[in-house]
Amino acid sequence: MPEDTTTPSARQVELLEAAYRYALTHGLADLSLRPLAAAIGSSPRVLIFLFGSKDGLVRALLARARADELALLDRFEAAERSEPIGLARAVEEVWAWLAAPEHRPLLRLWAEAYARSLVEPDGAWGGFARRTVEDWLDALAACQPPAERNGEAGATRRTLALAVLRGALLDLLATDDEPRATAAVRVHLAHLGA
């Protein structure tokens, strides 16, 4: 699917941000334009006009959520540091951010979009899970020293690190048991540091 390169209007940006705040609270699974429009001070017709369709709006909301995810990942890019911080420290810093209660709305939205993209690969959700895996693996690779990053073992280590982070995150979102999930991540960190 080609990316839309047109510059959005101020009203479109304003409504997208309002819809994004709504989605963080209410999710996207059962998104209905009428309640959304009422909640954000618009109308379904305006939303369709600005985003083309309900799927267009969902795609815009997913892109907006991905922008927040990429902003997080940018914090861990090695370019900001004199040298890569290493996979263990990256996992530790990422987990601290993921486990913070104030990030739960974004992470619930991420989990919903991730799951929907697996069961609806051709719809508005299509490709979201694959892109997020690639984004995270790229960010973790940037944290690895070049000798580790460029080898098969380095790719395997960051894939395992991502799997542990994602699994612990899903468990945290399901149970709210942060101490248990953090303990599991710490066990993995000990293996990474060994």
pLDDT in tens, 104-138: 999 999 999 999 999 988 888 888 999 999 999 99
Assess if residue 98 is contained within a domain: yes
Output the pTM of the full model.
0.82
Assess if residue 129 is contained within a domain: yes
Question: Among 191, 189, 169, 190, which residue's Cα sits nearest to residue 180?
Answer: 169
- Per-residue pLDDT tens over the stretch 134-171: 999 999 998 899 989 999 999 999 999 999 999 999 99
Q: Which two tokens stand for residue 57?
A: 């709006």
Number of domains in the chain: 1
**Angstrom distances, CA of residue 89 to CA of 77, 92, 132, 144, 190:** 12, 5, 20, 10, 11
Q: Tokens 């490709």 label which residue?
A: 127
Q: Using an 8 Å Cβ cutoff, are 114 and 173 in contact?
A: no
Assess if residue 31 is contained within a domain: no
Assess if residue 13 is contained within a domain: no
Assess if residue 22 is contained within a domain: no
Question: Among 141, 138, 136, which residue's Cα sits nearest to residue 157?
Answer: 141
